[in-house]
Structure 1
Amino acid sequence: MNWYNNIQTRTKLISSFLVIAFITLALGIFGVYSIRKIEQLDIKHYETMTVPLSEMVIIVESYQKMRGNVKDILLIDNPAKISEYENNIAQRNEEFYQNLKSFEKTLLTEEGNKLTKELFINKEKYDALVKDVIRLAKENRREEALLILNGEAEKIEADMEKAIKRMMDIKVAAAQETADNNISTAKQVTTATIAFLVAALIISIALGLFTASSITNPVKAAVEHAHIIAGGDFTREVPQKYLRRRDEMGQLAYAFAEMNTNIRNLLKEVADSVAETSAASQELSATVEQVSAQSENINASVEQIASGMEETSASVEEITSSSTEIKNGAEQLKARAWEGKAIVGEIEKRAEEMKESATTSKQIAQSIYNVKQKEIKEAIEESRVVEEIAKMADVISEIAGQTNLLALNAAIEAARAGDQGHGFAVVAEEVRKLAELSAETAGNIQEVIQQVKAAVNKLTSNAEEILKFIDDKVYPDYDMLEKTGEQYAQDAQFVKALTEEFALAASQIAASMVEINTAIEGVATIIEEATASSQEISNSANESTLALEGVAQTAQAQDEMAEKLNLLVAKFKI
């Protein structure tokens, strides 16, 4: 997965959030689509099954009331009452035909259409017979009217009731099939939703862990290496697997490696310069001891001054040469110290850049976090359309209850009608069964809605856990990276101060060498004057001894200073 490690951290985070947002959106769209599909099936079930049942109830009720009115006409002699019943019959016929036409539209089978046409034909025949019965009743020919009702009309009534019962059976069977299809669809939606949710959960967790590992592992390695450098160990190298990366983590690792190399080289140069300074100090001390011995020989024997003058002059030249060499070494050491100061300044600048980069990355991550958190919350809020479907299911349950009550009333009316209401009682029983089936279907819909709500709540919990992971892990790592940058800047300032002190010490050594050269020149002058006067030579020898003691003290101070620098450098592992 080197290609993934080479992607910029900002791109990784944005891509991860986009994938999670896409999964959330896809699950939400699928859930909404599934709910809408179930909603349409319920609406279709209500419009094509439940509503037609109420129409059939009205058809049966109108038919039974019309039969009752016809029989009532034969039992009374009041013309006004007969006219009233005749108007009622016309009104019942209008209700019958209107509802039968509506019910016919919901019968989609060939048998249902055939039964409807037969019912229309029989009803028209029955209406014609009813007109004859009413006419005979008005003419007081009731016996003939009863013969019609008990003969041909009764046969047509039996055919009509048989057709109505068969139409109800067809409608109940269609309702049962529709209910079974709705239940099957709900189960399929539930299974698909659970599978989609599990896949989304696995992908989200895997992507979150992989992205977090890609970011936190290099940061932890950088923090560990920073602690090693802070402890003064510059022998450890940054692992190559982080140096080969092309993202911000790889750039950070490369900056650490370059800083480690530069500081190690600087410390090596400082150690070498300290060693050279210490050697020069020891050489100067030896030279001073030699000159002191020669001065004592001069004091012991004035006669040997002339013969030892050349040797003394040679020693003076050697001292002068050594002093010049020491002075040049001090100047070189001073120049290297100032170069070290410049390098330390560069390190401090890089540390500040690292801190600023960490701060910028943290701000970008915070911005992305805020945007994605808002989008996830909006997507979850949109999924609450499930509540509206639940309300619609409750409405269906209420309608089923009302239909059941209507069926009960119809059964009571059929019981009152006796044998004539037997067919109507059968229809009422079928209506009651269909109402119970509608209530059961509404209950199943409620269960599916609860499962969808549980799936949405689980996805919400997972999204919140991913956001919490960013709060608890990613942001603290960025804070630690900022603190590491500040620590590097402080360490760079400390080394910078150390190099300034080292340069100052080198300047003091150079000044001491100037004083030594001046003293040596004085010794040469004294030696030249000694050729003219032994007493002056003796006095000059004493003065030279005093001057050499000062040189010895200066050399001792220089050696102690070199030793201190050596101890400081020894604290670091290079």
Structure 2
Amino acid sequence: MIVAHPNKEYPIKANLANASEIGYKNIDKVYNDVISGRSGVTEATRTDGVIEIIMYEPIPNTPNWSLCISVPKSELLSKTNYLVKHMSIIILIILIILMMITYIASRIISRPLVSISEHLNIVANADFTKEIPRKFINMNDEIGTIARAVDSMQNSIKGVVKAEIEKTNSTTEEISAGMEEAAASTEEMNAASCEIKESINIMAESVNKGLNVANSISEIAQTLKGDAISSEKKAYDVLTKMDANLKSAIEESKSIHKINILTHSILEIAHQT
């Protein structure tokens, strides 16, 4: 049963069971929940098109009674919209203030960081003559910590570079001395090379002379060989001729011996007569 309603015709006369018949929309869910003893919140549309928020809750210790309250959605949300609108404005103002504070703070923070970054670029270009401003080093915040770290890094790099320069200078001096020794050794080697070259030339001349002598000896040997062969041939011819003469002489001597014997025999015969 509808107890109170802006339309004076509905109280007492109308209820949830016939609310849809008089023009309410989406009211059946409320009716079914109330009959079933359930609580809830739902929207329904009145006959004049106004959307209402209906809240219902069972009443304990009653014969299945429920209390339903219907409030136009626009009235219920009007305060909420007002609060949302004003809260949005307040939040927007707070955001603007926070953005301004953040911008100012970032400028305050970034300005030293930019200076430190520029100093790092100078150090990166191997320029260690400039020091980081003392005002940044003396800060007791993160900027000061970064500035001190950068200053310590610069001093460390400067020390390393200085040590390397000294080491390089020492090495350069050693290399220069070594080059001078090498130059002196090169001169000695050049002189020795000249002497060796001269000795080689002398040896070459000696070898050439030796070759000439060897060639002369070879020619003489060839001549002697020819003479020896010729002499051998002549000696052989002489020996052959002498052998023939000797044989002839032997034969002649044999004939003479026979003649002597014959003569001796004749003489003996003549003597006897």
Same fold (TM over 0.5): no
Question: Which structure: larger Rg?
Answer: 2
Q: Which has the higher helix share?
A: 1
- Give the structure-1-normalised TM-score: 0.19
Higher relative contact order (CA 8 A, sep 6+): 1
Q: Which has the higher strand share?
A: 2
- Give the structure-2-normalised TM-score: 0.35
